[in-house]
Structure 1
């Protein structure tokens, strides 16, 4: 009987594509890489979501509307300058010493749009979740004429202080999603060793915000720019009309155009000072806590080419690990055939749980 010898190409095609890891091999993550099973297994996206555009539309248009979650409480906070932010809580009834995940939302994030990740983080970890909502988002009044696409590190400091005062026995961990990673990285770098955050996870960052928007797929760039104008500019016309660039901002068609024009809305006199104070890449190498980053190579919003200039730097940092997968689109990473669940939220939960064990053992 003739023995069947498989075609080399077919074997290669069927071979599992494990996540790609970038990290310093004698750093903090040797045991983490071994212990986290997901890093040793192929991420297999939901079959009917293998196309990254369909995957993103399912995540952004359909899945967000299917989640049934009611927050325990939504508290509005008045910042030092009079601006209004909020913290939405889930897991308030947990023991006081239960860890708390500080969650930072997407570029147009709302209480409703973040319900899935809030629900999943709580379910996988058993921890409390505190969603920190930026000024100008959702139903929050814009009492001070100031917004930032990536959020204010100072606002986040004040939100974290409030969370600490409410649960002084709780260890804090952090997760940033999409644009929320910009605020997360900026804050962690500025605070360095001073932050109370024990470990963090960044989902689909864009890295250098001064160039990242140029790589967004043109269709999504136009759609997201229109949403920014509709959500943050038009409802507050009486506030923004005093800004010289008012009409120019309304004419912006792409995210790159909007980001280059709106700096006065963020409280800066010129783009250069805004970029120096907001771009997370300037504080990236100052981060001291353990940080895991996840990017999909087919992400049409935060393009994988944004990572390329920083691969070598990451391999030299003992506390940073970047995970990339072939599929996943932007913040989706759904798996399962009929009942879709998030592979990424499972990974971030397992990572944070592993870091809590390390923290407790030290």
Structure 2
């Protein structure tokens, strides 16, 4: 496969077209098979498999691609469907690692997931390593999942169970991104996502065994209208952080880029409506193993580079597969 460069068509140069059109465009999804991992704390993680490795010859070792979705995403997200479809065409084993509560089933505990939660990803990767000891593990993280993957790669360094990684549109400075989403048209994205998070809190508050453990009441949920408020009142206390600033500082992926020891591609768009320039790393902040692509355009997990408005063509999937499988 020849690697394409990214240039948006004339009709998709606006960052909001790049961000919104992929969400609105119908994408088929290959058939997936669910595997549930039970966790030591009594909760669970759901993995949706596209296909499992089938080693047909002693010399044939198949990789496994692990997709880590974004905030309130899942295997149904447009970007996951597109990559799974391309991997299916290539007959590559792959799965979607669902964050807690994102597989269509409410998780059992009051806690959920957050931008710096690398332990659940490590649990998934460890299970894969046990089940498929010879298969290289490749990972792709989108948005929040990209921040999680970046932090994991930096935390584990040369001991990372991921052999190659791609990080897409990751909010590597959480505080700056939360502030960005309070202004201009970006508030539309914040409102859309916050409503989903609020509903999940309401669902847990409605469960007698969980309501007493929740840090807010039903009456207070309605007032949590920004990420900063929600993370301060819900995310931070539920996950052991001392307030929102402590959470944003400790969970942001940017400081971990210098510690990455396995080949990792990071892709950002300068016009991403979820981001500010604070997420852009300096050259000194990058490990020699990190390849950084900053495109002038592309929006948030968009990167439409052709086709037409009713059937866009995308740069991301081709670039991801090229880096993971052919580089």
Residue 74 of structure 1 corresponds to: 34
Question: Is 1:296–1:304's contact at 8 Å kept on the other side of the alignment?
Answer: no
Question: Is 2:67–2:95's contact at 8 Å kept on the other side of the alignment?
Answer: yes
Selected match of 1:90 from 28, 50, 58 = 50
Unpaired stretches in structure 1, ≥5 consecutive residues: 1-34, 356-362
Q: Name the one with the larger helix percent.
A: 1
Correspondences of 1:135-284 after superposition (within 5 Å)? 135-150=100-115, 152-216=117-181, 217-230=186-199, 232-237=200-205, 238=207, 239-246=210-217, 247-262=219-234, 263-268=236-241, 270-271=243-244, 274-275=247-248, 277-284=250-257
Question: CA RMSD of the aligned region, Å?
Answer: 2.4
Selected match of 1:351 from 311, 317, 323 = 323
**Distance (whole Å) between structure 1 residues aligned to residue 278 and residue 133 of structure 2:** 38
**Distance (whole Å) between structure 2 residues aligned to residue 170 and residue 221 of structure 1:** 38
Aligned residues, how many? 310
Q: Which deviations, in whole Å up to 9, do the C-alpha atoms of 1:251-275 show, x marking residues without a partner?
A: 1112222223221222445445544
Task: Say which SS state the counterpart of residue 162 (structure 1) adopts.
Answer: helix
Residue 291 of structure 1 corresponds to: 264
Question: Is 1:296–1:326's contact at 8 Å kept on the other side of the alignment?
Answer: yes
**Distance (whole Å) between structure 1 residues aligned to residue 45 and residue 233 of structure 2:** 24
**Distance (whole Å) between structure 2 residues aligned to residue 67 and residue 177 of structure 1:** 19
Please give the TM-score of this superposition, normalised by the length of structure 2.
0.86
Please give the TM-score of this superposition, normalised by the length of structure 1.
0.78
Unpaired stretches in structure 2, ≥5 consecutive residues: none
Distance 1:166 1:244, change over 3 A: closer
Q: Which deviations, in whole Å up to 9, do the C-alpha atoms of 1:8-45 show, x marking residues without a partner?
A: xxxxxxxxxxxxxxxxxxxxxxxxxxx9743xx4x232
Question: Is 1:104–1:180's contact at 8 Å kept on the other side of the alignment?
Answer: yes
Q: Which deviations, in whole Å up to 9, do the C-alpha atoms of 1:62-93 show, x marking residues without a partner?
A: 22x4323211x111111111111111111226
Does residue 100 of structure 2 align to residue 100 of structure 1? no
**Distance (whole Å) between structure 2 residues aligned to residue 48 and residue 120 of structure 1:** 25
Question: Is 2:142–2:169's contact at 8 Å kept on the other side of the alignment?
Answer: yes
**Distance (whole Å) between structure 2 residues aligned to residue 46 and residue 76 of structure 1:** 41
Task: Say which SS state the counterpart of residue 104 (structure 2) adopts.
Answer: coil
**Distance (whole Å) between structure 1 residues aligned to residue 240 and residue 38 of structure 2:** 18
**Distance (whole Å) between structure 1 residues aligned to residue 94 and residue 18 of structure 2:** 26
Larger Rg: 1
